[in-house]
Structure 1
Amino acid sequence: MLKIYFSWREIFMDLRTQRTLSSIENAFIDLTLTEGFSKVTVRQIAAEARINPKTFYDHFHNKTALAAYLTQKFLNQYAQLIQTRLENNQDILAGHLDLHLQGLLSSIIDNQKLKKTILALESIHSNSLDFEAQFLQVVSENLNKYHISKDPLTIDIIATITLKIINYYIRTNEPFSLSRQENIVKTLERIINPSR
């Protein structure tokens, strides 16, 4: 039997590192939302996080690397959420998509830090970082993985609508309404096929 021992120093250093990273993330998100990504500097992030700029550079090469890290961290969390919701494909096919969709959106919309993270990352317009494209890719990959559809257009549209729905509810703070989404689909059907 393998026994693993941790010293108090290792545990303390890990907790301290986590606390520092959390401070850097929160400072970056808040500053990006108030100042805009292009105006935010590492010195500002460090001051807001109450750390030395050198400590920032111990973790990230620059603010773009931090933004990329936050994007990947969010996408990993979102991928786990969507995988959990889509793993039981039979429930979705049996008509319980409403419960899955509502649970998925609620888990994002009810989390203030996730909401702020999404808003901050979406506000960044950079050649090296495209949050929306990466988000759509994660949704598309999971729709393919769980055989929700084989049609690339269907997958693209579902992924895009998912992002738009999340954006809407994050920005308005309205509670999620499945009946509202159903009405949108009915309206879309009438537009596409007015003879119905």
Structure 2
Amino acid sequence: MNKKTDLRILKTRENIRTSFINLLLVKNFKDITVQNIIDEALIGRSTFYDHYYDKYDLLEHLVNEILNEFNLFIKDRFNLNSHEDFINFFSSVLEYYSKKRNVFLALLNVHTEAIDLYNSLQNILKEGCSYYWDNMNIDTKFTLPKEYFCRIYASTAMISLQWYMENNEDCSPQYLMETFGALKLLVSGLL
């Protein structure tokens, strides 16, 4: 039988997470203390420690949540068969992360020795691209090194997602695809 978590516990965890994210939007992670978090959340110190070991534990929980969700998206990404499928996929990704905009942006700016959301997301994209490359036998069609292509793909995807979130643009995936086309022309003109 599944044991349901008490609603008060869920609300307290969400309050702690929201308070932490709000702090990350105005302060560097290294400058945030547990005291800052409990002051922002209006809870006692023991309540914080009932849920998280320290601020690193809280950070790790939030980052792992984003990574798990992103992994699910990426599995779908490399199984698409058409441009229209990609536009629909990309729309759902943008819509999903737009709802979590503050969380996403706050966590992208935290870089610790053990936890780095930006690099972790980029690695997921590189691995997905590499898997796709191997299964599509792309290396027989081009002389471009796989590792080079996968790094460019992952970097472009991350920069695009981050730019979209930072600018809170009301642009469609179709607009971003047109932008990629313009980028391709611009890059070929520069080389």
TM band (smaller chain) = 0.7 to 0.9
Task: Within 5 Å, give how 1:70-149 maps onto structure 2.
Answer: 70-83=62-75, 85-86=76-77, 89=79, 92-96=80-84, 97-109=86-98, 111=99, 114-145=100-131, 147=135
Please, what TM-score do these two structures have when normalized by structure 2? 0.80
**1:123 Cα shift?**
2.0
Contact 2:23 2:32 in 1 (8 A): yes
* Structure 1 unaligned regions, length at least 5: none
Listed as ranges, the gaps of 5+ residues in structure 2 are 140-145
Structure 2 CA distance for partners of 1:167 and 1:58, relative to 1, 3 Å: same
**% identical equivalent positions:** 24
For these two proteins, the number of residue pairs brought into alignment is 180
- Structural mapping, 1:1-196, within 5 Å: 4=1, 11=4, 14-83=6-75, 85-86=76-77, 89=79, 92-96=80-84, 97-109=86-98, 111=99, 114-145=100-131, 147=135, 151-194=146-189
Give the aligned residue type for 2:49: Y
Distance 1:164 1:194 in 2: 21
- After TM superposition, give the deviation of residue 17 of structure 1 in Å: 1.9
153-162 or 138-147, which deviates more: 138-147
Contact 2:97/2:104 (8 A) holds in 1: no
* Aligned partners of 2:108 and 2:117 also within 8 Å: yes
TM-score by length of 1: 0.78
